[in-house]
Amino acid sequence: MADAASEVVAVAVTDPGKPAGRTRSLSSTLAMATAALLSSTGSQAGFLSDDADWQVSAGLLVYNEQDRVSAVEPVISARKSLDTDEFLNLKLTIDTLTGASATGAVSADLPQTFTRPSGNGQYRIGADSTPLDDTFKDTRVTLNAGWERPVAEELTLTLGTALSKEYDYLSLGLSSGLARDINGGNTTLSGGFSASFDASEPVGGEPVPFAAMQPSGTEQIRQGSGSDKQVYDAIFGVTQIIDQRSLFQLNYSISHSSGYLNDPYKFISVVDPVTGNPVFENGDQVDLPTVAYENRPDTRTKHSLYAQYKISLDDRILDTSYRFLTDDWGINSHTLDFRYRIPLSKGRYWQPHLRYYRQSAADFYTPFYIGENRPAAGDSSSTGSADYRLGELTGMTVGLEFGRRTTSSGWSVAAEYYLQSGDEPDNKFGALSSQTLYPDVDIFFLRFVRDF
């Protein structure tokens, strides 16, 4: 249920104008990638002996976006038996990220200079290059705590909390869940709820929607220093054992977010309606393009349907899943995932992994504004974002895991390659026609997990 659960204390930045909004998105990606590996080898060391006071699992994820963000994320999970069927679960995650982050601005056949979010300092992007802020650096520490125990016959209650802190962001999460076994233990009904309360303090303050970036050393147009967001999630599911070799799971989830949903470090280029080049109207600084800060709706509701089927085929395990997600921003996504575990001798195994992802663009996604089509500064009734994560895109993951599991311990190593491709806008013209506005993103994962 809750990736909404978890995080404690962290601090680290080079330039005080770093685009921390990228951290939250990337941290979510890292969390999912690590969780996938942990779960595949027993994230709670569930195959350890029942009389162990503490069952501990440690993992390390190394993440690299080619020419962009790199990350190292150690994770440690611990599970303690408090009573026969009562358990305490703890997890500590640390994200350390460095590299370059996309701003949303378009590339051009002319050099461009951008002001850092702090208003102090600038960075220059060469001709025909994607605008990236290359001083990105941050550290986030996350702590999850959970408790579970039976509260009635065949009924288990779980409660959890999470605390997260990074340079400009604080998040507190709470979660609860119930699971009931019926039909002689062959069917499990489950439900859960989580809530997170986030507070951010964007570097330089919260930008005024669609206000133009100002030259370095000039006071930027801001409307506040702190912004809050609330996220509420609910999930309902059923898991059915079909026979001795297979099971099926079906989940429905709903998520509602409200508050400040903008990324304060993303903006949208304004281009000339004739030439297609960025508009340069900033006085003496002739290479400073006109870019407008984004504005997204202040609410978002997502619905998701997830189905998973597992079957054992002559000691080999096929794990398949499909997820459909739709939201009121206009985004629809489809995710197909396949894992095939091939056993070897002495508990060793190979596990190939293939994942396909496709999403449509948000209704308000726009890669650029043409001249006067840009909304007026402060027009909070209009929406727009050039964040490529809200555009139409396809992602493909190919990976391979090797590991060993015994009754007392286990370990695994996995390597994965992810290619994200976006669809180029069909309204490019003039100088934009020769530019790649949605470049491919190559990502490499290397993950290691050890259960003690």
Burial bucket for residue 348 (CB in 10 Å: 0-12, 13-18, 19+): middle
pLDDT average, residue stretch 6-24: 31
**pLDDT of res. 250:** 98
| Ranges 14-28, 118-132, 276-290, 306-320: which has the least confidence | 14-28
Domain range summary for the chain, segments of one domain joined by +:
2-451
Q: Of the ranges 40-44, 145-149, 228-232, 389-393, which one carries the lowest mean pLDDT score?
A: 40-44
Out of 52-56, 114-118, 190-194, 396-400, which region has the weakest mean confidence (pLDDT)? 52-56
Question: Do the strands 206-207 and 122-125 form a parallel or antiparallel pair, or are they unpaired?
Answer: unpaired
Q: What is the pLDDT of residue 100?
A: 86
Reported as a pLDDT band with limits 50, 70 and 90, residue 220 is confident
Nearest residue to 196 via CA among 158, 162, 146? 162
Residue 245: which region, alpha, beta or left (left: phi > 0; alpha: psi -120 to 50)? alpha
Contact indicator for 97, 11 with CB cutoff of 8 Å: no
Instruction: Note the pLDDT tens digit of each residue in 166-179.
Output: 888 899 999 999 99
- Quote the CA–CA distance of 388 and 420 in Å, as a whole number: 11
Q: What is the mean pLDDT of residues 71-85?
A: 92
The CA–CA distances, whole Å, from 260 to 6, 136, 231 equal 20, 22, 11
The mean pLDDT value of the chain amounts to: 87
pLDDT category at 13 given cuts 50, 70, 90 is: very low
User: Percent of the chain having pLDDT more than 90?
Assistant: 70
Q: Does position 227 have pLDDT exceeding 90, yes or no?
A: no
Task: Check whether 23 has a pLDDT greater than 70.
Answer: no
Q: Is the pLDDT of residue 219 over 90?
A: no
Task: Examine the pLDDT at 9 and tell me if it is beyond 90.
Answer: no
212-228 burial, b for 16+ CB within 10 Å, e for fewer?
Answer: bbeebeeebbbeeeebe
For residue 25, pLDDT over 90 is answered with no
Instruction: Indicate the pLDDT class of residue 120, thresholds 50, 70 and 90.
Output: confident
In this structure, the number of other CB atoms found within 10 A of the CB of residue 306 comes to 17
Strand partners, 254: 234, 303
Q: Which residue has the higher pLDDT, 37 or 341?
A: 341
Q: How far apart are CA 350 and CA 402, in angstroms?
A: 5
